Amino acid sequence: MTSPLKFQIKQASTKTSGAGESARCGTFALSQPASTVPDQQHVKRTIETPGCLMYSQKGAVPHLTPDNLRQQSFGGVNVSLEHILQTDQPGSFSKWPETSPISQFNGYKFTLSEYLRLQDLITFCDLRDYSFAADTFRHPTSPPAKKLASNTDHHTVLSTPKGIRQLTLDGYLKTVRHYRPDVVVAMADTIAETTTPNEKRVRKSVERSLKWLDQILLERNGQDGTIADRRVEEEKKRRRERKEKKRNAAAAAKAAGEQQEHEQKQEQDQVHGEYKKGEEIYIEPIPSEPWTDVGLFVTVGGAHLEESRVWSAQETAKKEGVDGFVIDTLSLSELDKDSRLKHVQTSLAHLPENKPKLLYGLHAPEDVLEAVAMGIDLFDTSYPFQLTEDGKASLYYYGPRPAGQDKSNSNTLRSINLWDDEHGDKFVPILEGCGCYACKDNKHTRAYINHLLKTHEMLATVLLMGHNMYQYSQFFTLVRESIQDGTLQENSVAFGATFGKEPIRTLEKHPNQVIVEAALQKRNQRLDGAEEGVVGVIGMGSAVPSLGAAVGAEDVEMEDGNKSNKKRHESDEAGEDGGSKDEVVEKKVKKAAESSSSPL
Amino acid sequence: MKSALKWDVIAKCGTTKARAAVLTLPHGPVNAPVFMPVGTQGTLKGITPDQIEGLGCQIMLNNTYHLGLRPGQELLDTCGGAHVFQGWNRNLLTDSGGFQMVSLLKLAEITEKGVQFESPHDGSLMLLTPEHSMSLQNSIGADIMMQLDDVVSSLTTGPRVEEAMWRSIRWLDRCIKAHKKPESQNLFAIIQGGLDPALRKQCIEEMVKRDTPGYAIGGLSGGEEKDKFWRVVSQCTDLMPREKPIYCMGVGYAEDLVVCVALGVDMFDCVFPTRTARFGNALTATGTLSLRQAKFKDDFRPIEEGCDCIACKSYTRAYLYTIVTKETVGCHLISIHNTAYQLRLMRQVRESIIEDRFPQFIHKFFKDLFVEKSAYPEWAVNALKSVNVDLIQGEEQL
């Protein structure tokens, strides 16, 4: 089967020996990047590796509207299924309007890329949000990621916006068939209910994941991958039915009295006779719709047990049809960075060189350098996102100091926190010479962003995110160049010497943020009645000006305004749904049931 | 008084009092009638200046009171004004800080000297005098500045209304005296007088004598009955100088804009479009969509067919339903759409005036928005009738 993905390694670094030997540059793309639908001019971008997929929440990259998003050079987006699986029917958006001209083209199926309007970006679909799994700068006492219930032989557990959901293999397959992302990660048993799994649990997870992988590979090729499961289900069903019949027969016999006993006994024998124990149940195989146009990445796990990691990698490497690997680190989050990297190395050693590997969590720049040196090709952009949430802006660079940056970064800081008072009167961009839309042409200054943070305005995170993403992509560009010209090792050493390590993330908000939020609360109390408004943003969010608090200055003032139009514009009121007059009654009834305001 | 603007009426409606014009200000031309989005604290709710420009916006509002608190006058002086501060190269209009008097009334004490506010942020006292307001607004550097007026709620009755009207005139004089940059910033007077036609008339007479570059109708949009509201607006536009722009502050909703344009108003501002966007409500020509409602779960149409904003070009209602009020991107998208909607509405209004088919436009607008004639708001019907547009009967005559 020809792969829908193309990964070409450009040049493995041969100029340096020892550390960095495994680093390589490549291009990761679809075999068919151009859309085949008429009137659709989209061509999927290529990802240069080492490179990134963009981190998203609910299918959208945080803070970036589509136009601002496209200014970033990253070639793909990582979409977590657990963010977007909303209903029981995963294909809810297969109900695309029939009137659309596109839908009239040979039953064209709408894909996840269409729905999320990412037709020009590689859509990579994983089950869960692992981006913060193994942060090396997580505060040691910060609350662990939500611990879910354990996966079972039959399902994996997801944490969706509407609650915990169990995703069965059937559900997973149905989702993939409907969503048709460019790349999907195979459903696997990633251990989420504990960060210190025991040996038995680890072995079970590898075993389960491999079993599911076999089934997924069969299904992908159009064969019946779930026939064994269905046979088991059928057997269980028959056993249940038999028991039920026996019970009924016994009850009937008792009621009828002893004269019937003999007759009943005969009947029971008949029941037994229908199915002989040990006889195999025949299940009609269902030919399934193949999805060989979807790329498949597989997670190699094994937690912290070397043997399991080797086993997982070796067995997975044998399978045909796997386009790439995700190196699991979710279960390593309790370990120190070096141990984590050691386990990553273990997995890598048993995986084929010619396929791309993705790594979550080890995404601070210095961690990226170590992972790249081992041969990791893909990361995600949750690092710049985390910085943004904290009000920070990146200043680090890789390789020789870029020209024009001398003025603003003479301290060689890796980042600044725009909440700090010292930026309040600095009418310079975050980083002189930076080409992002925040810094370009000195359009937005540190003083302005400081002001935006202090006034709880959302533009702050829009500007910071744009900048941090841009800086991250610049970093990767320079890393790739270094691999090409053999300077990876020396530049990485220099980077470590200049910028050190990412500081551990604090648990507390910045003191200025605390002041601002306290003042906001006080003001609302003083003015007697402005509600907090709507729900805050889901996610790390410790510094994000939440939408709730973004009920800004003028909202308070408009309290009494325009009451005469209130009927038609009920939406004025904080926290209430608007809607036409017809909806009002319907809404009151539904309001109890609807959980539209409840956060994760 | 010196003026830093040019007002060129390029078309007049043959039926109503509407006119289309070009208002040329220091930071560029503005097509009127115009709706000005409100960026209170020096930002339009998560939308970048590039994006605002992309929507065709030529002028927006900043709030003097809030900017005076944060970032403060000193900082604005240092960097050269609000334009530079927020990276906005087109026009700005600042209100005086006077409206906060009404909205933050519990915290304000009004005397002849000025208004003493207790800052809601930290309880500190701030005295806003006409002189101080002018000074702040000079530092902000907006192309149009508003006088500090003694605003009373439109629901107030009794001698307070008249007192406020006279005081506003006295404060206008003080503003004119204190205004340091008439060659680059235009000071607008604000007509007060509550809902009393006699007071309004007097106020207009006096303020016109001061010959400011433009005039605003103030003291409305405070919850008064719409029927009273339009009569005041109409009286004002009749009496105010027609060779200068007329600005009705705090207006607002789509139907209000259309009616007031017909009554002769040229400029508007309102926080509503961006504010309601944050609660997930999208404005369309056929009504407001509350995208938080589950009924949009499977609705794969864009917010508004034919809208060319980035939200409508990119996403479906179904997807927006999943992210409004939950992801900041959802909020940005609806804010952009609502602003685009308001600006597009004014563009369409203006085009129809230029092509002298504004009455037809009005008919279609109300039909699209309200569907049934029985649903047309009575005040709008009355207001339009006063300028020769009969919403109920008139369509057949066109």
DSSP A218-231: HHHTTS-SSHHHHH
Higher pLDDT among residues A271 and B116, named by residue: B116
pLDDT above 90: percentage of residues in chain B: 76
What pLDDT sits at residue B154?
A: 80
Residue B309 marked in a binding site = yes
* Residue B295 forms part of a structural domain: no
What pLDDT sits at residue A230?
A: 84
Q: A interface mutation test: which of B85, B94, B140, B325 has the most A CBs within 10 A?
A: B325
pLDDT digits (tens, 9 = 90+) for B93-145: 999 877 765 566 566 788 899 988 776 666 777 788 999 999 999 999 999 99
Task: Return the minimum-mean-pLDDT range out of A211-215, A252-256, B336-340, B375-379.
Answer: A252-256
Q: pLDDT band for position A496 (50/70/90)?
A: very high
What's the number of CA atoms in the CB half-sphere (13 Å) around residue A126? 28
Per DSSP, the residues of B181-207 read: -TTTSEEEEEE--TT-HHHHHHHHHHH
* Residue B310 forms part of a structural domain: no
The sign of the torsion formed by the CA atoms of B352, B354, B357, B359 equals positive
Task: Return the minimum-mean-pLDDT range out of A15-19, A373-377, A449-453, B151-155.
Answer: A15-19
Element (H, E) at B22: strand B19-25
Higher pLDDT among residues A349 and A22, named by residue: A349
pLDDT at A299 exceeding the cut of 80: yes
CATH number where B34 lies: 3.20.20.105
Two structure tokens written together for A475: 């970093």
Higher pLDDT among residues A356 and A134, named by residue: A356
- Name the range with the highest mean pLDDT among A151-165, A398-412, A574-588, B347-361: B347-361
The sign of the torsion formed by the CA atoms of B243, B244, B249, B253 equals positive
Task: Return the minimum-mean-pLDDT range out of A36-45, B71-80, B302-311.
Answer: A36-45
* Residue B367 forms part of a structural domain: no
Strand order through the sheet with B28-32? B6-12, B19-25, B28-32
pLDDT at A308 exceeding the cut of 90: yes
What pLDDT sits at residue A263?
A: 66
Residue A88 near residue A44, CB atoms below 8 Å: no
Residue A499 near residue B290, CB atoms below 8 Å: no
Q: What distances in angstroms separate CA A147 from CA A143, A197, B307, B327, one per listed residue? A: 10, 12, 44, 23
The whole-number average pLDDT for the span B375-398 is: 87
Q: pLDDT band for position A232 (50/70/90)?
A: confident
* Residue B159 forms part of a structural domain: yes
Cα of B40 to nearest chain A Cα, Å: 7
The whole-number average pLDDT for the span B192-220 is: 94
pLDDT digits (tens, 9 = 90+) for B307-317: 999 999 989 88
pLDDT at A565 exceeding the cut of 80: no
What pLDDT sits at residue A20?
A: 58
For residue A161, the chain B residues in CB contact (below 8 A) are 322, 326
User: Between A and B, how many residue pairs show a Cβ–Cβ distance under 8 A?
Assistant: 244
Query: Please, what is the average pLDDT of chain A?
Result: 79
The whole-number average pLDDT for the span A334-340 is: 88
What pLDDT sits at residue A154?
A: 87
Q: What distances in angstroms separate CA B69 from CA A16, A321, A435, B41, B62, one per listed residue? A: 58, 63, 32, 10, 13
Single-letter amino acid code for the residue at A447: A
Single-letter amino acid code for the residue at A8: Q
Residue A25 marked in a binding site = no
What pLDDT sits at residue A144?
A: 62
- Work out how many domains chain B is built from and give that number: 1
The whole-number average pLDDT for the span B216-228 is: 87
**C-alpha to C-alpha distance for A522 and A526, rounded to whole angstroms:** 6
**C-alpha to C-alpha distance for A390 and A439, rounded to whole angstroms:** 19
**C-alpha to C-alpha distance for A373 and A18, rounded to whole angstroms:** 10
Residue B66 marked in a binding site = no
Cα of A562 to nearest chain B Cα, Å: 4
Residue B228 near residue B161, CB atoms below 8 Å: no
* Residue B175 forms part of a structural domain: yes
Residue A52 marked in a binding site = no
pLDDT at B49 exceeding the cut of 50: yes
Chain B 314-373, residues with CB within 8 Å of chain A CB atoms:
314-316, 318-319, 322-323, 325-333, 336
Q: pLDDT band for position A262 (50/70/90)?
A: low
Q: pLDDT band for position A593 (50/70/90)?
A: very low
Coil, strand or helix at A28: strand
For residue B260, the chain A residues in CB contact (below 8 A) are none
What pLDDT sits at residue B234?
A: 96
pLDDT digits (tens, 9 = 90+) for A156-207: 988 887 788 888 898 898 888 878 899 999 999 998 888 889 999 999 999 9
Residue of A nearest to B275 (CA): A555
Q: pLDDT band for position A578 (50/70/90)?
A: very low
**C-alpha to C-alpha distance for B291 and B289, rounded to whole angstroms:** 6
Residue A87 near chain B (CB below 8 Å): yes
**C-alpha to C-alpha distance for B66 and B40, rounded to whole angstroms:** 7
* Residue B33 forms part of a structural domain: yes
What pLDDT sits at residue A19?
A: 53
Q: pLDDT band for position A396 (50/70/90)?
A: very high
Higher pLDDT among residues B265 and A556, named by residue: B265
Q: What distances in angstroms separate CA A100 from CA A105, A312, A516, one per listed residue? A: 10, 46, 48
What pLDDT sits at residue B106?
A: 62
pLDDT at B29 exceeding the cut of 90: yes
Give me the long-range contacts of A484-491 (CB less than 8 A, separation at least 24): A484/A10, A484/A11, A484/A25, A485/A15, A486/A13, A486/A14, A486/A15, A486/A16, A487/A399, A488/A13, A488/A16, A488/A20, A488/A23, A488/A369, A488/A372, A488/A373, A489/A16, A489/A18, A489/A19, A489/A20, A489/A373, A491/A398, A491/A399
Residue B87 to residue A444, Cβ atoms within 8 A: yes
Coil, strand or helix at A554: helix
Which residues 6+ apart lie within 8 Å of B265 measured at CB?
B33, B217, B233, B237, B246, B247, B248, B251
Chain B 275-304, residues with CB within 8 Å of chain A CB atoms:
275-276, 278-281, 287-288, 290, 292-294, 297-298, 300-301
* Residue B309 forms part of a structural domain: no
Roughly what angle, to the nearest 10 degrees, separates helices A365-374 and A488-499? 160
What's the number of CA atoms in the CB half-sphere (13 Å) around residue B349? 35
**C-alpha to C-alpha distance for A25 and A384, rounded to whole angstroms:** 22
What pLDDT sits at residue A574?
A: 30
pLDDT digits (tens, 9 = 90+) for A465-484: 999 999 999 999 999 999 99
For residue B378, the chain A residues in CB contact (below 8 A) are none
Residue A241 near chain B (CB below 8 Å): no
Q: pLDDT band for position B220 (50/70/90)?
A: confident
What pLDDT sits at residue B56?
A: 96
Query: Please, what is the average pLDDT of chain B?
Result: 92
* Residue B299 forms part of a structural domain: no
Cα of B370 to nearest chain A Cα, Å: 10
DSSP state of B70: I
Higher pLDDT among residues A254 and A406, named by residue: A254
* Beta pairing, strands B144-146 & B186-191: parallel
Residue A572 to residue B41, Cβ atoms within 8 A: no
**C-alpha to C-alpha distance for B144 and B183, rounded to whole angstroms:** 11
pLDDT at A424 exceeding the cut of 50: yes
The whole-number average pLDDT for the span B63-72 is: 88
Residue B78 to residue A425, Cβ atoms within 8 A: yes
Which residues 6+ apart lie within 8 Å of B199 measured at CB?
B161, B162, B165, B192, B193
pLDDT at A414 exceeding the cut of 50: yes
pLDDT at A109 exceeding the cut of 60: no
The whole-number average pLDDT for the span B180-208 is: 95
Higher pLDDT among residues A401 and A275, named by residue: A401
Range of the domain at B116: 13-270
Nearest in space to A176 (alpha carbons), one of A272, A85, A70, A49: A85
pLDDT digits (tens, 9 = 90+) for A515-531: 888 888 877 776 654 33
pLDDT above 90: percentage of residues in chain A: 46
Residue A87 to residue B297, Cβ atoms within 8 A: yes
pLDDT at B376 exceeding the cut of 50: yes
